[in-house]
């Protein structure tokens, strides 16, 4: 099961599989610790829906949805079941 | 003990500034790194002949932001004798990314681990001894805030001479390593040595639940903005400005008395008091409000709330090529462009700073309000509020459009991504805040001051000399007035081709407040009541509208110009921005006039 980071429900923890982005953005993300195999969790969403706060390596990072869409992740364990089912429908 | 240069490097938000202040005390020098609008701080370490250079906070040395370029080129081209790397114990993994790059520079290095107390509170721990063995450099736990272990740190700095040793884990350090490899190395380095505890401390968690709450976040943020605005541009700030004006008056009188006693000639007196002091004093009356603004910005930034504000507001700004951080300077622009341009310094990306600074003048400043009130009262008394509000909206709309048009490729594809850390909430230190304030105010006075003073002197001269260099007090025959007369016909297509209007607009270049006072003296000889009547004679509803639009959009005052020029980095950029705005003002006023004529034919 593969999802992009922006599709993760709040509170769900995942493992980063790949960053499909090699420009400055991708490099920046990797420098900040978003690398293959790292644990990442979507913590909050801004009131207007964008950006969201993700916890990575002990820091809170704000990432825009359009940028998070480039990050492929695999959920660690389903802790927010309802969220996933709804998301499947959206696709 | 030999003189040494020490480069202080570390991530943003890890307490670097606090450490810098603690090590250097009062002996600091602030300036800019050459070629960029990035702040450079240097200081002497207390009690030692060491110069500590504060490198900009960076997450890495190899990306393309001006801050990273500055740090990288400093270490490469003018390498210090020693590198002091400060890391945040609560985010050690990410902090070590920079540490590895610093070690690659092959300079003697000391690592200071800050915020250990916070790490302990989060239930984590770090074994600095083992980490030091693995990294091959001294690793000292400190608390920059409380001063704990600073003595030990200084001792370590004293003894550090050798290049980084090759500890057991550090065998393949090279610049070609990918980021993944580096993080793998960090994992090995921290294995068994580091436990991060809870990811977020409780206070931050609780506060963020409220401050980024879906329903509360934006109202709270707007309230904070409103508070800021009211303090700076409302009664408290204005009272301080008035006090400063009284002070300036007092100095003016004192100067006059002084020059009298020294037997100075009458024109020297006038030049110093009316010309130079008027300019300098005028600028200094800005200072209380600037200081208040800097204070607020300092508190917002250092506490960590600024990042939340940007986070909450970001969505609105994405389309304009800006990020949420631009909100604060732009809102301040509704008060006064000058401090707002300085507030734009909080934007990390140079490109964003430039866009924001160029957009600022379109956000109608407070000094223009008297003009709006005067003209709407004279011609559109029933819809004053609506019209003035409309003017503000028009300004914002045209500002966004103009910047999109002239921002070019930069706006369409943002050069650097929006990836912002939300640091834990921290209480700003008193000393740090005051020091910050002092630096910012000094910077404003020094740089903006010189331009304002020379411009004011120049304008004053042209207002009192005729072309044949005779002295005059009559505005109409002075150089200033004559230029106004030459320019007047240019404004005829806009409906206000009188020399008085032109001169008033020119005077508005000194300060927007001068537009009304010029009109008062030129049209009505200082008679306030008569001014409305005089305007009703001199203008028509249509030309009043176009005049208002022109005032809204044309180039800002000298003080704003000086600050904008500085933020954009040069005369060329500054003058181009001013010219562009004035062109927009002209075209917009023209269209408004022609359309208004359909409704109010003369």
The residues with which B83 forms a beta bridge, in sequence order, are: B7, B109
CA–CA dist B12, B304 (Å, integer): 11
Does A83 score more than 60 pLDDT?
no
CATH code of the domain occupying A3-90: 2.30.30.90
Longest C-alpha distance within chain A, in Å?
Answer: 35
- Chain B: give the shortest CA distance to residue A58, in Å: 5
Looking at residue B451, what is its pLDDT? Answer: 65
Chain A residue with minimum CA distance to B421? A61
pLDDT tens track for B189-227: 898 888 888 878 888 999 999 999 989 998 998 888 888
DSSP assignment of B536-576 equals HHH--HHHHHHHHHHHHHS---HHHHHHHHHHHTSHHHHHH
Chain A residue with minimum CA distance to B208? A44
Q: Establish if A46 touches chain B: CB-CB under 8 angstroms.
A: yes
Burial class of residue B385, CB neighbours in 10 A (0-12, 13-18, 19+): exposed
Q: Smallest Cα–Cα separation from B30: which of B346, B565, B441, B449?
A: B441
pLDDT tens track for B377-394: 888 888 877 888 888 889
Could you tell me whether strands B82-88 and B109-114 are parallel, antiparallel, or unpaired per DSSP bridges? parallel
CA–CA dist B99, B169 (Å, integer): 14
Beta-carbon contacts below 8 Å between A and B: 110
Looking at residue B164, what is its pLDDT? Answer: 59
Rg (CA), chain B: 28
Is A69 or B441 the better-scoring residue by pLDDT? A69
Question: Which of A29, A58, A64 is facing B90, going by the closest CB pair?
Answer: A58
CA–CA dist B548, B562 (Å, integer): 24
Kindly state the average pLDDT of the residues A52-58. Answer: 92
Looking at residue B168, what is its pLDDT? Answer: 41
Question: Which of A31, A50, A53 is facing B60, going by the closest CB pair?
Answer: A31
State the CATH architecture for B4-195: 3-Layer(aba) Sandwich (3.40)
- Chain A: give the shortest CA distance to residue B306, in Å: 13
Q: So what's the ipTM on this one? A: 0.86
Q: Establish if A17 touches chain B: CB-CB under 8 angstroms.
A: no
| Contacting residues of A for B183, CB less than 8 Å apart | 33, 35, 38
Q: Smallest Cα–Cα separation from B110: which of B149, B143, B137?
A: B137
Under 8 Å between Cβ of B24 and B52 = yes
Question: Which of B64, B183, B214 is facing A35, going by the closest CB pair?
Answer: B183
Q: Establish if A60 touches chain B: CB-CB under 8 angstroms.
A: yes
Show Cβ contacts of residue B152 under 8 Å, excluding neighbours closer than 6 positions: B140, B142
Looking at residue B455, what is its pLDDT? Answer: 67
| Optimal mutation site among A30, A37, A57, interface B, most CBs of chain B within 10 A | A57
pLDDT < 50: residue spans in chain B: 166-169, 409-413, 415
CB neighbours of residue B101 within 10 Å: 24
Q: Smallest Cα–Cα separation from B161: which of B229, B109, B94?
A: B109
How does residue A55 score in pLDDT terms, banded at 50, 70 and 90?
very high
Looking at residue A87, what is its pLDDT? Answer: 46
Q: Establish if A51 touches chain B: CB-CB under 8 angstroms.
A: yes
CB contact under 8 A, B419 and A32: yes
Q: How far is CA B93 from the centre of its chain?
A: 32
CA–CA dist B580, B597 (Å, integer): 26
CA–CA dist B79, B421 (Å, integer): 29
CB contact under 8 A, B307 and A36: no
| Contacting residues of B for A51, CB less than 8 Å apart | 311, 314-315, 418
H helices of B179-318, in order, are: 179-190, 202-211, 217-233, 235-261, 266-270, 278-284, 287-303, 305-318
DSSP assignment of B356-373 equals HHHHGGGS--GGGHHHHH
Looking at residue B412, what is its pLDDT? Answer: 46
Looking at residue B522, what is its pLDDT? Answer: 72
- The ranges assigned to domains in chain A are 3-90
Does A89 score more than 60 pLDDT?
no
CB contact under 8 A, B183 and A55: no
CATH 3.40.50.300 positions along chain B are: 4-195
Return the sign of the alpha-carbon dihedral for residues B196, B428, B290, B53.
negative
CA–CA dist B486, B258 (Å, integer): 40
Does A88 score more than 50 pLDDT?
no
| Contacting residues of A for B93, CB less than 8 Å apart | 33, 57-58
């Amino acid at each position: 099961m593969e999802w992009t980071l922006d599709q993760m429900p709040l509170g769900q923890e995942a493992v980063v599989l790949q960053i499909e982005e090699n420009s400055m953005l991708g490099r920046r993300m990797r420098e900040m610790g978003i690398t293959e195999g790292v644990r990442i969790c979507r913590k909050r969403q801004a009131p207007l829906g964008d950006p969201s706060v993700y916890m990575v390596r002990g820091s809170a990072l704000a990432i825009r949805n359009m940028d998070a869409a480039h990050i492929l992740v695999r959920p660690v364990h389903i802790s927010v079941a309802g969220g996933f089912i709804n998301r499947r429908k959206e696709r | 003990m030999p003189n040494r240069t020490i480069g202080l490097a570390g991530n943003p938000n890890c307490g670097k500034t606090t450490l810098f202040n603690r090590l250097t005390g009062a002996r600091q020098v602030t300036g800019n790194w050459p070629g960029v609008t990035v702040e450079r701080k240097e200081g002497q370490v207390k009690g030692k002949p060491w110069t500590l250079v504060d490198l900009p906070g960076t997450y890495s040395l190899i990306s393309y932001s001006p801050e990273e370029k500055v740090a990288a080129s400093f270490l490469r081209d003018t390498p210090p004798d020693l590198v002091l790397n400060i890391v945040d114990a609560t985010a050690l993994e990410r902090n070590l990314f920079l540490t590895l790059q610093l070690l690659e520079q092959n300079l003697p290095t000391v690592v200071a681990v800050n915020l250990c107390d916070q790490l302990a509170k989060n239930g984590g721990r770090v074994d600095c001894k083992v980490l030091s063995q693995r990294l091959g450099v001294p690793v000292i736990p400190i608390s920059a805030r409380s001063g704990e272990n600073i003595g030990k740190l200084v001792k370590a700095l004293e003894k550090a001479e050798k290049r980084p040793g090759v500890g057991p884990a550090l065998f393949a350090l090279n610049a070609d390593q990918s980021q993944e490899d580096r993080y793998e190395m960090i994992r090995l380095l921290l294995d068994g040595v580091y436990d991060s505890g809870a990811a977020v401390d409780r206070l931050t968690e609780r506060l963020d639940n409220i401050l980024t709450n879906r329903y509360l976040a934006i109202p709270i943020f707007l309230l904070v903005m409103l508070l800021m605005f009211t303090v700076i541009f409302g009664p408290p700030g204005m009272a301080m400005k008035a006090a400063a004006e009284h002070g300036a008056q007092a100095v003016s009188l004192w100067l006059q008395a002084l020059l009298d006693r020294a037997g100075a000639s009458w024109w020297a007196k006038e030049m110093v008091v009316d010309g130079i002091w008027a300019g300098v004093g005028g600028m200094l009356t800005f200072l209380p409000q600037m200081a208040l603004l800097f204070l607020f910005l300092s508190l917002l930034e250092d506490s960590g709330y600024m990042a939340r504000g940007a986070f909450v507001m970001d969505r609105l700004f994405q389309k304009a090529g800006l990020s949420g951080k631009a909100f604060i300077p732009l809102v301040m622009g509704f008060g006064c462009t000058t401090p707002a341009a300085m507030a734009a310094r909080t934007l990390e990306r140079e490109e964003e700073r430039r866009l924001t600074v160029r957009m600022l003048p379109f956000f109608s400043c407070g000094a223009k309000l008297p003009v709006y009130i005067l003209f709407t009262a004279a011609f559109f008394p029933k819809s004053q509020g609506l019209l003035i509000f409309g003017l503000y909206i028009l300004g914002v709309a045209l500002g966004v459009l103009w910047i999109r048009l002239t921002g070019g490729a930069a706006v369409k594809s943002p050069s650097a991504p929006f990836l912002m850390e939300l640091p834990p909430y921290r209480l700003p230190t008193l000393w740090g805040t005051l020091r910050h304030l002092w630096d910012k105010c000094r910077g404003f006075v020094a740089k903006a001051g010189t331009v304002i003073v020379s411009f004011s002197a120049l304008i004053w001269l042209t207002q009192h000399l005729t072309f044949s260099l005779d002295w005059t007090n009559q505005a109409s025959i002075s150089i200033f007035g004559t230029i106004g007369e030459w320019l007047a016909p240019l404004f005829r297509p806009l409906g206000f081709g009188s020399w008085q209007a032109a001169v008033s607009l020119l005077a508005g270049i000194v300060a927007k407040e001068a537009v009304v006072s010029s009109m008062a003296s030129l049209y009505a000889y200082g008679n306030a009541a008569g001014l409305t009547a005089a305007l009703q004679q001199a203008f028509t509803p249509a030309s009043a509208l176009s005049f208002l639009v022109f005032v809204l959009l044309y180039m800002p005052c000298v003080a704003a110009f000086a600050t904008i020029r500085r933020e954009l980095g040069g005369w060329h950029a500054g003058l181009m921005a001013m010219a562009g705005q004035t062109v927009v003002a002209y075209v917009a006023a023209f269209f408004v006039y022609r359309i208004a004529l359909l409704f109010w034919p003369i």
